[in-house]
Each structure stands twice: as structure tokens, then as C-alpha cells.
Structure 1
Amino acid sequence: MHLIHQSIKRFYTVLGRPSNNLASGIVGLANVGKSTFFQAITKSKLGNPANYPFATIEPEESKVIVPSFKLDHLHKLYESQKKIPATLSIFDIAGLTRGASSGEGLGNKFLNDIRHVDGIYQVVRGFENDEITHIEGNVDPVRDLSLVQDELVLKDLEWLEGARERINKKINRSPKNSPEFLEMHLELRLLEELEAHMYEGRKLSHFKQNWTEEEIKILNKHNFLTAKPTLVLLNVAPKDYLLQENKFLKKIKDWIQEYAPGDEVMLFSAELETKYNELDNNLQEFEAFCKEIIGKEKLEVPLTALPNIIIKMRELLQLISFYTCGPIEARQWTIRKGTLAPEAAGTIHSDLEKTFISANIIKFDDIKKMDPPLQESQLKSQGKIKRGGKQYVVEDGDIIHFKATSGKK
């Protein structure tokens, strides 16, 4: 068995909570399709997709299954009795309005709800429908993107100013040249730079690409709204999604490039996703329905955009998966990028982290073309089962068997 030699550099420099259990929130103006999207992605009747503002007041929470073709393959390969996928928590947050940062439309409450999630699905409306009112009077996704970003930035500026006041009070009570005094001055200097950046209407996450560990530590302490990764979801008519075109798309991409560089936009249709769930047991009928909409015999996009939307959010949150497999179950586990093997073992049981010895690791690429049943003796003879120690950084797709001393099963 070979020992895996790998750099022990850790990926601490990631904005956000240092946790494997992260959540995303659906954010946007009222009446843009947030609750309909929430019901579609969670396949539930939670949320309130009514045709009036503030139909949702309290945030709804649900968990969605993380799609994984790797887990599907491993389930068959190991001939496991059960298949247990990972999940992602999603919150449906009430719609924002102009002036939310000043308390308009229960804005303070809704902005506070956003503070409790780690990643943002920002839904904007890109379809025309006279029967569905728009809180701003007409459909203009670029204006809506700018409006929401401005409200988040204004709230962060308010939060930042309060933080500066608290730090200055502490500085006045701290001995000069003490470690705490110097750390607080460093924090103030960073906050001043961020304030100047936000006064240009830009989010903190776009201030720079490579943050130092000290800067990350400071930002994560304050939990700023605009430091959270964002995926823009353009809610379009079914035909637009199936053809992957929309009259607003170019303007949106231009706006993102100038005012939110690094954010991405994906097309989806809440109307079409609802129909997909209704015909979940008859996908042939749904496929025929889609082909009729575009007048073509071949579809060039997935029938549903939701799996890719879930996977993309996990990428933005720096989440990856490792797997544990055997005859009883094949299970997918969620960790942050840069997690060491003992910490990954700890997601299964805290005893495994405390008493960790080593990990036997199989790379998914080494078995992805194999047919069941898996012969581990064959993998061993080919040197494809490797051993990782305490400094091994777990990679996406690793199949791992942990070894520990006197740990609970």
C-alpha cells in the first residue's frame, strides 16, 4: 500500500463560516419567483408563491439532495443495500424592497435573515407577464440586481460603521503596542479600505481575489452580507430556458462584469420546473412538452436546471464530497475544501477524529469505469488503494476507509 504524499497547506483563506454544514438563501425583490423556485427545488409546498408583496414573512427552510453520479456509480459498484446522499439547506427569504436597509417593507428583518445563510441565490425576473405584478412597475432585471446590491451594501456600511465605533472604544482602553492594540489597528485599516470600496456600490466579496488569513479572520468575524458568494438566477419563460436565450441576458452579464465581477448567472424557469415536478413520473411526456414549446426534435439543455444550480452553489461555498462505501450503505459526506483526513473522519463521528490513525483512500477516477462487484484485492494488487496520514488533504470524490484506535463504531 502506497503512502500519499501531499502538501499540508491548508485552505483557510475562504470567506464565510469555517463549517461543513453551510446553508444558502433565496434572495431578491418581491414577486420575482423566489417561492416558486423554492417549491420546485425542494419539491415541496413550503413557501408562499402568491401574487402580492410580502407573501413570505418568516423564512422557510428545507433540505435538498445533492445530485451525485459518483454516488450512483458507487452504490452499484459496492452493491450496497442503501444509498445515502448529501443534502444542502436552503432558506426562502422574504422579498426585499427599495429602502430595505432603512427598514422599509420589514427590510431590517429580511436583511437579518440573509445574515444567517452562507451563500445567496439571487433570483431576478426575466419574463414578461401582465398578470404577475412587479413591485417596481416593470420588468428590468439589471435595475433589480442593482437595487438589491445597493440595499445589501448600505446595510453592510451601517454594520461596518458600528464595528468601527466599537473597535475605537476598545483601542482607547487598551495598552499601546500590546498585541490586541496592534490587531485592532490592523482591523480598522482593513475596514476603512472596505468602506471606500463599498461606497462605490460594490460588494466586499469583489474587493480582492486573494485574501490573507488575517483578513479572512477579520471579515468572518463580522459576517458581512456582501461577503457571501452569490449565484444570480435569471427566472425566464420556459422557451427562453430551453433555448438558453433571453433578451435581458447580455445586459445582465455586462452589469455583472462591471459591478459584481466574479458572480455568475444561470438561466432557469420556475414555471417549467413546476411542470417538471408535476410530470416527474412521466418524463417522456415532459420531454415531448418541451420539444413542442421550441418546435425542435432535440433538446440541447437538461430537462431541469435544478441539479446544476445545487452543484454550483456547493462550488461557490467551497464544499466537496468524500464517500464511505460497503455492503450496507454507500454514503456521501460534505466537507470544505482543504479539510484534513482526521477532520473528515470527524464528520462521521467525533471519536474517529480523536483516535484517527490513517485512512485508506481510493480515487474515484480509478474505479469509475469498473463494473460490479468491486474487487478490492484487484485494486490492492494494482496499487490503487493508498494510505493517507494526519496531514492528508481530502479531495473531491475520495472513497475513504478510516482507521482509528478504540473509537466507537
Structure 2
Amino acid sequence: MPDIRLDKLVSISNSKKKINTTISFVDIAGLVKGASKGEGLGNKFLSHIREVDAIIHMIRCFDSDDIQNVNPNVDPIRDLEIIETEMKLADLESIQKRLDKKNKKNSTEDEINILEAAKNCINNDGNMEVLHENYSKNELHKIGLLSTKPKLYVCNVDEKSITKGNNYTELFTSKFGTKNTLLISADIENQINQLENEEKKNYMKMINLQETGLSTLIKKGYELLELETFFTSGPEESRAWTVPVNCKAPSAAGTIHTDFEKGFIRAETVSYEEFIKNNGWLNSKK
């Protein structure tokens, strides 16, 4: 994960190595109507998506005669609703199996309550977000339903729509909101990836783009998953680590090594801003 803060730490500490934190994106083939019944790549898609922590929907919001579409026209709302419906149907099948009398004994009372609530939502065409109001993120994560996973919506636009959007994105955000919706142009990202650093900066400046779509997506992904970064820095290496927001010091230490958490006594820390301001650890401790 690109992070200019880590670059500055490497410079100040004169580190031999720089190790960025990582976030993995799994590119899964598109979903078609009937996927929950095995149409297209449906079953394979659904098995892959069950393993992820969050779902990013890449929604087409541009016109092009060069890009084939299984549907006769561009309709971002329809495309997303197809995917959401198929995930709900797959969840419903999973829920019914888990609530079957012979399988019910494998679930706790709390899990059964959540499954029943989810089943009612799906059968009544309800908003699955209601579950997030009644149950914790951890409880829903343990249940492992597709339709309750955190979601980001990426409106894939053409170059001229990257800053202000277009009619398709306006239509989409009028229904799904802007909080977890990003405008990204896959075409622009492809061009950026083929350029050297200086050319990349000039091109982004020319099209009035402050940062790449990938960087924006990573930051939003961290926010969605409620993650944050802390750093360790010294002559040998400067490294970024990922932990949950509001993680306690012993747990953060355990991210570095499990023995650190077991034998944790105390940790000396300094804010990134102070470290930079004082040009390193020694001056920051004074």
C-alpha cells in the first residue's frame, strides 16, 4: 500500500529496507442473473466471494461500442440490483440449510437469531442494512452471509467524467448515496500504470487528478474495514503495520510478533508528526 509517510520515515531513519503494509484485492468474474442457481460463473463467483472481508462492486457508468455488455443498455442500478439479488438468494439457500433441524444444533442461539432475522429480511425484500443496526460487525462477520459484508461501489467512468461524474453516476448515487461510492476510470488507471513517475505526475496534473484511483480505493477500503496503520522505524527497516481502529498496544505488538503480546509490559511510542518534526526518535524523546 503506497504511503508517503513511510517514505519519510525511511529517509529520516536511513533504513536499509522499506516494507509497506498490504491489502489484497481479488478480481472475481462478473455475475449474471441466475448465478445463485449456477448460471454463468455463478457458483464459482459465490464461493470466492464468501472468503473476502468486503465487497467492491465495479459498476459500468460509461458508453462504449467497443465494450460488450450482456444487457442491451447501460444501467448501473439494474446491474447492481442483479448482483445484490443473486447474493441474497445464495444467502437464503445457505440460511435454510443452517436452520434445518439436523444442522441447527451446530449454531448458537445468537447465530440462529441472526439467521432468522436475515431470512425475514430477504423474504420480505427488506434492506439488509437493518441487520447492522441490530447486530455488531463481529457477530455478522461470524455468520458469513454475502449480503451483510461491507460494500464499496466503484462507478467506472470515462476520462471526461472522472472529476464530476455523469448522468449514470448521478442516477446511481441518487439511489445508493455517495458515502461508499467512488468515481474511478479503469481506462485512466491503465494509462497511469504504463507511465514512469515523472510522466505519471504530469499526466495526472493535466487531467486534474490528485491521486490515483487505486490509492483512493485503498484508503476507502481501510476506512470501510475500520483499519489503521502504525509504523516501526530504525536503521534496519521502516515498516507499516495494519491493525483494527482503536487497537490496544498489546494487540498491536502481537501483530509484530505473538511473543510480544504474551510478554507485553509497556511500549514507547511517538506520533508520526512529532517524529518528523523532531527528525527522528532521539529528539522526540527529549
Structure possessing the higher radius of gyration over alpha carbons: 1
The equivalent of 2:257 in structure 1 is 349
The 1:364–1:352 alpha-carbon spacing in structure 2 relative to 1, beyond 3 Å, is same
The 1:355–1:189 alpha-carbon spacing in structure 2 relative to 1, beyond 3 Å, is closer
Pairwise mapping of residues 8-407 of structure 1 onto structure 2 (< 5 A)?
66-166=1-101, 169-170=104-105, 183-184=108-109, 186-201=110-125, 204-209=128-133, 211-212=135-136, 216-217=138-139, 219-241=140-162, 243-257=163-177, 264-281=180-197, 282-283=199-200, 286-287=203-204, 290-291=206-207, 299=208, 301-368=209-276, 370=277, 372=279, 374=280, 376=282, 378-381=283-286
Report the alpha carbon displacement of residue 143 of structure 1 after superposing the two structures with TM. Answer: 0.7
The 1:211–1:129 alpha-carbon spacing in structure 2 relative to 1, beyond 3 Å, is same
User: What are structure 1's unaligned runs of at least 5 residues?
Assistant: 1-65, 172-179, 292-298, 382-409
Report the alpha carbon displacement of residue 96 of structure 1 after superposing the two structures with TM. Answer: 0.7
Percent of residue pairs identical: 36
Report the alpha carbon displacement of residue 89 of structure 1 after superposing the two structures with TM. Answer: 1.1
User: What are structure 2's unaligned runs of at least 5 residues?
Assistant: none
The 1:351–1:135 alpha-carbon spacing in structure 2 relative to 1, beyond 3 Å, is same
TM-score normalised per structure 2: 0.90
In 1, Cα distance between equivalents of 2:134 and 2:265: 34
Q: Are the aligned partners of 2:35 and 2:86 in contact in 1 as well (CA < 8 Å)?
A: yes
State the one-letter code of the partner of 1:273.
E
Pick the structure with more helix per residue.
Answer: 2
State the one-letter code of the partner of 2:99.
R
Q: Are the aligned partners of 2:121 and 2:128 in contact in 1 as well (CA < 8 Å)?
A: yes
Specify the SS of the correspondent of 2:265.
strand
In 2, Cα distance between equivalents of 1:201 and 1:149: 11
The 1:100–1:89 alpha-carbon spacing in structure 2 relative to 1, beyond 3 Å, is same
Tell me how large the CA RMSD over aligned residues is.
2.4
Report the alpha carbon displacement of residue 200 of structure 1 after superposing the two structures with TM. Answer: 4.4
Pick the structure with more strand per residue.
Answer: 1
Q: Are the aligned partners of 1:319 and 1:336 in contact in 2 as well (CA < 8 Å)?
A: yes
